[in-house]
Chain A
């Protein structure tokens, strides 16, 4: 993983900074179910957009890669949703 980060430091800096921002907002808006769910959707959406943009920019975007990002995004959304729904 560190090889990927070393190879695309700016791309990963943007991705991780956005994740950090979501976490900060989450800490601020804890206990509000609607905000928690919106933050989860934002986190997953940004990851998906980042994946598509990153691979498109580096010219290695394929249907399989897109599918991988979509499935990870969906998996994360489902897991997060199940916790926040019962929270």
Chain B
């Protein structure tokens, strides 16, 4: 039993002095297993909606405060929270959940600006930042600031108003938190009159959604585990080849290990949460 297990991870006479895990047959098998695993992971939310998901404690107030803090640091005026923009952001988030998409333009071609018009916010310039799957408000604003286009929106000196919605729901069967941040520069004082007529925004539940499994963490842990095993097997293979002067017609272990190390760093650095 131990001998057979050894054949999978170390070069021995039984495996042609190359760990079985590095044989093309084993690699092909592993690729097929991973593909099947991914298929199961993809279909799982459809059969068990709400089990996979991301929980967070993000609130619109925190997003606004952090956005204004960044603007202040850059010597820009802070943005006023606008009821109409809050409502437009909430409607945009509701639309994304209703039609199962996450983009500036909906699959039916609906633009962000249609939500501004729908609530009666008249503007000279406007902007929209989106984010999802984040666990805290700091990371959201940091991510936006790291992206030139989102940063431009946050630091646009023309904007005067801001509206933010943080809405929890299920997108493609996965529980998540969508964050919609809208900016605008109003035309005259018309918006204030309209805003007074708009009913107050329904309270958005801020309790953490009860998702049981975080798919990002599962995928990340699985990838790190497999990369670690392969790096270990490659290191052992190289050591044996060096120690026993083995010569085999194979690829370069250093190249494989380099690729896996680079991938490991990418996976370790991969952030949870996306912006659009």
Given A19-B259, A23-B266, A64-B24, A31 contacting B251 (CB threshold 8 A): no
B187 in the interface (beta carbon within 8 A): no
Query: What chain B residues lie within 8 Å of A10 (beta carbons)?
Result: none
**Given contacts A1-B257, A30-B143, A51-B251, are A67 and B219 in contact (CB under 8 A)?**
no
Closest Cβ of chain B to A84, distance in Å, is: 6
CB distance from B29 to the nearest CB of A (A): 10
Within 8 A of B (CB), among A1-48: 1-5, 8, 12, 15-16, 19, 22-23, 26-33, 36, 39-40, 43-44, 47
Q: Which chain B residues lie closer than 8 Å to A32 at the CB level?
A: 147, 275
A54 touches B255 (CB 8 A): yes
Residues in B neighbouring A74, C-beta threshold 8 A:
31
Task: Give A45-66 as 1s and 0s: 1 = Cβ < 8 Å from B's Cβ atoms.
Answer: 0010011001100001010110
Q: Which residue of B lies closest to A4 (CB)?
A: B254
Q: Which residues of A contact B24 (CB under 8 A)?
A: 64, 67-68, 71
Contact residue among B28, B242, B251 (Cβ-Cβ distance under 8 Å from A65) = B251
Q: Does B35 contact A (CB under 8 A)?
A: yes
B35 closest partner in A (C-beta):
A78
Chain A contact residue count (CB 8 A cutoff): 52
Q: Report the Cα distance A43→B263, complex, angstroms.
A: 8
A interface residues with partner B (beta carbon < 8 Å): 1-5, 8, 12, 15-16, 19, 22-23, 26-33, 36, 39-40, 43-44, 47, 50-51, 54-55, 60, 62, 64-65, 67-69, 71-76, 78-80, 82-87
- Chain B positions within 8 Å of A, measured between CB atoms, are 22, 24, 27-28, 30-31, 34-35, 38, 41, 133, 143, 146-147, 215-216, 218-220, 222-223, 226-227, 230, 234-235, 238, 242, 249-263, 265-267, 269-275
28 A/B residue pairs, CB under 8 Å, sorted by A: A2-B254, A3-B238, A19-B259, A22-B262, A23-B269, A26-B269, A30-B143, A30-B270, A31-B274, A31-B275, A43-B262, A50-B255, A51-B251, A54-B255, A55-B251, A65-B249, A65-B250, A73-B259, A75-B30, A75-B34, A78-B31, A79-B263, A82-B34, A82-B222, A83-B219, A83-B223, A86-B215, A87-B274
